A = this chain, B = another copy of it.
């Protein structure tokens, strides 16, 4: 027999074994998605046991090809593949979805072979794009493979990534769509119309290859063609049957996310085992070439160039300045923009490190998803846009938190203090969105010095960080030697009448109020999450528990809640309590009750209610 045939028999056996393991593990768990695994068994087999070059004993080898399971509900077959490749014993698969096991219902980076958590559909391609950008930056031999479901291509984020990947000529990125025709609840919009998929991806600039997704030869040919294609990414459009190989469920609606009852599963597995060729010549991993990533330059950045004698400066401007410095000092830092670099000032980073600057255009989901991919590849990505537009990527932030992703997000133009542009441009829920996620560090600098230090801190902290910055220029409060730490607030005024906690533009309103009232304490919160419990408690105690928070943010989920949770005591909240509107910043600060005057009134009335 010719060699190809033996390989094909081996791969077919592997596919069958993957099906068996997917069935057995989901049946053992009593939940999961065996039919969604069955449709991609040949795809996974081809990739894991022929196409991809990787060290199955070291999933974190930087030269490994990468596999991202965007259709995260097919987790059992991903786990089966790594068990089959020898990373852990097959018996572990039966612990699927149990509390003691990292083989969770959907993949998370608790497992060393999972770069980003998946399970919220339509995110994997963006992460793959980020990893492909990182690989090119590092001249890594790595190729990046992403497996999507067909249903998830309805998600717009897929088309954001589809638009950007050819723009960056990412020929090291190869996605596959497991076109099994059936969604969770009914057939997809496009069914088995492979030509519709082909037309769409080709129109977006991809090399599209339609194949029978159960034909291993066709799959291998497609992946080889993909590897040879220069200048653009490839999408393999694999026509498959949901539930392939599971009698009674193949290509039938109504079996999504349903494990097979135990007795039935045993019969099916016995049948599948009979179909094994048994021609196992001993699979040899296709190890990656020897490769060392470039030695990174990781210097510290200079101290901030501002002092209380400097002229007022916007925190967004200081962010841009610091990021540009960081670009020179640390070669791991990359920046991503959503077509607002002239407002966020990341254009300065682009000038000093153009090869590490990625214009992601007006597509915030993909921007954050790509940042997650870059972080998974060891980069330190700063993604920035207006604070309000990060809500566009809220689900990506959620998955970044689950992933423990080392992304740094900077929201500019927070709050009503942007003024005339009106409510659609005002980020008034960004603190609620980011502090809701455990493990997200949230910093809210008020002046240029602390903004600069926040950027520095973001690099020092491992995990997701959000920095909130403002549009207006504000006085510089701190000198270049002032130390800032995660979880540490700054006491600007001591007093006994009331404690006012603020950050950003409202801190200066608090200081104005303090100038008028003299005996109030003012704290610059700086670190919203984690919050400085000790300092807050000490200052609150000195003020007899009379605490006022004031913030350019909606009432819920911001500084008021953070301080209240920290103090476990009463807090009087000044915040934006209704949908704002266009106007001059100072008019709006007055109108929506977060001005010095409002603070003075609150202090005068506190405890009198």
A58 lies within 8 A of chain B by Cβ: no
How many copies make up the complex? 2
Within 8 A of B (CB), among A456-481: none
A188 lies within 8 A of chain B by Cβ: yes
Q: Which residue of B lies closest to A561 (CB)?
A: B561
Q: How far is the CB of A7 from chain B (nearest CB, A)?
A: 35
Complexed CA–CA distance, A163 and B162 (Å): 14
Q: Are B433 and A436 in contact (CB under 8 A)?
A: yes
Chain B residues contacting A561 (CB-CB under 8 Å) are: 556-557, 561, 564-565
Beta-carbon contacts of A122-140 to B below 8 Å, as 1s and 0s? Answer: 1000000000000000000
Looking at A120, A429, A567, the one whose CB has the most chain B CB atoms below 10 A away is A429
Q: Are B154 and A163 in contact (CB under 8 A)?
A: yes
A155 lies within 8 A of chain B by Cβ: yes
Complexed CA–CA distance, A484 and B362 (Å): 43
Chain B residues contacting A556 (CB-CB under 8 Å) are: 432, 435-436, 529, 557, 561-562, 565
Chain B residues contacting A343 (CB-CB under 8 Å) are: 184-185
Beta-carbon contacts of A430-452 to B below 8 Å, as 1s and 0s? Answer: 00110111110000000000000
- A154-B106 contact, Cβ under 8 Å, with A189-B163, A203-B203: no
- A185-B432 contact, Cβ under 8 Å, with A156-B155, A398-B388, A582-B98: no
A164 lies within 8 A of chain B by Cβ: yes
Q: Which of A310-318, A334-342, A492-500 contacts B (4 or more CB under 8 A)?
A: A334-342
- A425-B106 contact, Cβ under 8 Å, with A99-B582, A362-B152: yes
Complexed CA–CA distance, A200 and B433 (Å): 34
Q: Which residue of B lies closest to A424 (CB)?
A: B119
A389 lies within 8 A of chain B by Cβ: yes
Complexed CA–CA distance, A578 and B98 (Å): 18
- A341-B155 contact, Cβ under 8 Å, with A420-B29, A429-B398, A554-B436: no
Q: Are A577 and B424 in contact (CB under 8 A)?
A: no
- A557-B557 contact, Cβ under 8 Å, with A119-B425, A433-B429: yes
Beta-carbon contacts of A566-584 to B below 8 Å, as 1s and 0s? Answer: 0111111100111101111
A121 lies within 8 A of chain B by Cβ: yes
Q: Are A395 and B392 in contact (CB under 8 A)?
A: yes
Q: Are B183 and A361 in contact (CB under 8 A)?
A: yes
Complexed CA–CA distance, A398 and B256 (Å): 32
Q: Are A183 and B362 in contact (CB under 8 A)?
A: yes
A601 lies within 8 A of chain B by Cβ: no
Complexed CA–CA distance, A428 and B567 (Å): 23
Chain B residues contacting A562 (CB-CB under 8 Å) are: 556
A422 lies within 8 A of chain B by Cβ: yes
A327 lies within 8 A of chain B by Cβ: no
Q: Are A339 and B151 in contact (CB under 8 A)?
A: yes
For chain A, which range describes its interface: under 10, 10 to 19, 20 to 34, or 35 or more residues? 35 or more
A455 lies within 8 A of chain B by Cβ: no
Chain B residues contacting A439 (CB-CB under 8 Å) are: 578-579
Complexed CA–CA distance, A563 and B353 (Å): 48
Q: Are A98 and B347 in contact (CB under 8 A)?
A: no
Q: Which residue of B lies closest to A166 (CB)?
A: B189
Chain B residues contacting A359 (CB-CB under 8 Å) are: 185-186
Partner pick for A429 among B200, B388, B437, B571, CB 8 A cutoff: B437
Complexed CA–CA distance, A582 and B25 (Å): 14
Q: Are A151 and B424 in contact (CB under 8 A)?
A: no
Q: Which residue of B lies closest to A73 (CB)?
A: B421
Q: Are B422 and A104 in contact (CB under 8 A)?
A: yes
Complexed CA–CA distance, A420 and B95 (Å): 12
Chain B residues contacting A432 (CB-CB under 8 Å) are: 432-433, 435-436, 556-557
A588 lies within 8 A of chain B by Cβ: yes
Chain B residues contacting A433 (CB-CB under 8 Å) are: 394, 429, 432-433, 436
A399 lies within 8 A of chain B by Cβ: yes
A320 lies within 8 A of chain B by Cβ: no
Complexed CA–CA distance, A188 and B155 (Å): 22
Chain B residues contacting A582 (CB-CB under 8 Å) are: 97-99, 101, 104-105
Q: How far is the CB of A580 from chain B (nearest CB, A)?
A: 9
Chain B residues contacting A576 (CB-CB under 8 Å) are: 438
Complexed CA–CA distance, A606 and B395 (Å): 36
Chain B residues contacting A32 (CB-CB under 8 Å) are: 420
A401 lies within 8 A of chain B by Cβ: yes
A-B contact pairs, 18 of them (CB 8 A): A31-B419, A97-B422, A99-B584, A104-B582, A106-B421, A106-B422, A108-B423, A151-B339, A185-B340, A185-B343, A203-B203, A392-B395, A429-B436, A432-B433, A432-B436, A436-B556, A438-B554, A555-B565
Known pairs A200-B204, A557-B557. 12 more at Cβ < 8 A?
A: A106-B423, A118-B424, A120-B392, A121-B362, A154-B361, A154-B362, A154-B363, A392-B395, A402-B424, A438-B554, A438-B577, A561-B564
- The chain A residues found within 8 Å of chain B, CB to CB, are 29-32, 72, 97-99, 101, 104-106, 108, 110, 117-122, 151-152, 154-160, 163-164, 167, 183-186, 188-189, 196, 199-200, 202-204, 256, 337, 339-343, 347, 359, 361-363, 365-366, 388-389, 391-392, 394-395, 397-399, 401-402, 404, 419-425, 428-429, 432-433, 435-439, 529, 554-557, 560-562, 564-565, 567-573, 576-579, 581-584, 587-588, 591, 609
The 10 closest A-B pairs by CB, nearest first: A156-B156, A119-B424, A99-B583, A394-B394, A159-B159, A105-B422, A432-B436, A104-B582, A429-B436, A199-B203
